[in-house]
Amino acid sequence: MTMTNGEDDKDNAHNLTYENETQLNRTVTIPLAEYDKLKEEQHYITDPNMIAIVDKIGELIRALRKNIRMKV
């Protein structure tokens, strides 16, 4: 059984719809001041869970330093 030209065109058009989904370029426009603020914030830890982990590491280091005896 061979496909008619109309069915070929229908299948081709259907396949092209999937190609268009992957080729969409999505961009967001934000003011330059907001961009600068976001760039600056990337240098800091702002996640509360990460801050808690860093604080806990600091506590553990201080506790270890109390128990370290260095030879003089």
Q: What per-residue confidence (pLDDT) applies to 1?
A: 47
Global pTM reads: 0.45
pLDDT tens for 21-65 read: 555 667 889 999 999 999 998 899 989 999 999 999 999 999 999
Q: What per-residue confidence (pLDDT) applies to 51?
A: 96
CB 16 within 8 A of CB 7: no
The residue ranges of DSSP E strands in the chain, in sequence order, are: none
CB 51 within 8 A of CB 45: yes
